[in-house]
Structure 1
């Protein structure tokens, strides 16, 4: 087997590589932002490589990937493990759940944490057909991974991705929460369906209209941009209407400094019953935790919306108004999250924990997003697309 150098040219969809204990750690945010402006939550989320994949050409029939994973676990609660998805010439070849790795265990009762060391995961991809092939190895969306080694039984060479680049920013739903594998998160499903090159800036708990996030998007190559805002602002009770509206305008102004005519969609939150009329903060349902299950509740006072306290219903109206107020920008579009997942969908596809969609619902959201954004006449269809 040949040891393949882990050069930056092999990795698509991320920002930077960091060498950690002889392995390569993937980052989705550049160092200045993650070290200076990101809090602990965002630093953890940006090092989970949602949408990041190794892309290369080879004639190999056997591949081996070694990963050192670090996952967050809640004491007494079961959580699904991350997985590695492999495609060959665009078709799914196999999905490989992780089994080992390090654990950051959080005790929800006391707030205490414990770090537990684990073994390296080894993913083997065998019996590939002979001949030239395009390989993509999608890394786990929900665990931090350090790539220790890549081996093949034939030479490997990086490949360029000539497809239009879609940069998407959003919350844990865009990050992929509750989807089973990295290819089943809705941005990945949508990107593959639309034939675009995904850079996923979905970060769990962290889509709060941060000015630096707008600068990241401003400076990123992009042929289409979408920004999905609202749910984290509500469930963190992070803003009032007075501060939210100018913050969104400023966010869009910053993006437009680098992308003055790039198709840009402002996307409002999908339906989430707990926060439609009830503000945050959001919290864990204590009774469900005692029963060994995760479910979220809203704890705010619905009567305070007249004071500028935000709910999802209020935020959707505000975001639609922002776009109307920027009518001079013909490349800016509003997409209602209710068109992606609405109250009627909640009957058939309920959010299992009250906040995050399951795998089937990720697929539903992706299919609808492609229809409104990337289909002929769609708001994000890059110029020159067939």
Structure 2
């Protein structure tokens, strides 16, 4: 098969690689759409720390083209989403259904060849049918499950006011999850006006560009001097990771979804707020619960198929498989404003809508053509 390989020189190369064999409990998925995750960018910037050569890509969807002899949960020809976490299923956390806490987990796209390829082999328990969903939307189930994991466990109350820091893909998905959970008003915070406009289009009542506006003044003004009931950090910035503590009301909740890429050092006032305001702080890593992969994933599939999430508008760029290198270069150079960047291993018609493209690809999958 053709795959984009990250080799020993830390460079991408699109080339033919040997297909992995499909074991008795595995499935082979022909990849139709794969998203580039923010964590993928960090892994490249900070230096790849996983086995090489590697094939990245852990947000993906496609069609089952082969199943092992023991597989019963999916059939050849079904459209599915891939679940990248490979928990050991043996440790004490896995036994409790806390798969995200597994002490010996691996991941598709880091430890094992991922979805920046024509196909990927993974355990049958790591795919879920998606029905007639668009393949590109289905490739966003993984980040949506991350947002759902945070919101479901933070337990917002109907009528709450929330602040969301960082309105990239995870932030915009988190905004939609909060509205679905009954949050009344959301204040979106970012330093990019284009992203704030997207948040406004999704229904955020207020937006704050914290680069040019006084964040605390704005938030307390919007909340009648009380502060927000909830603050969710989705930017992975040490600045916003502290700011969450400054705009939350007494006995409010702070949820951290963004990854800390450097030391987070708190000023005295921010730290004092934790105990003087009796704030509840909670971190959220990944997107899993019991039974595996969890309600985050099954809810995401159901809600997307019900039309309760807007996903197409979050996709800003699409690249064919052979241009993965160019996609990463665009992101790393920041020459263009981007949101979710999709890699499409299958043939794509220029300017075709997500829905049209998925419909055509699905018909081709059934007929066995490209």
Q: Give the structure-2-normalised TM-score.
A: 0.28
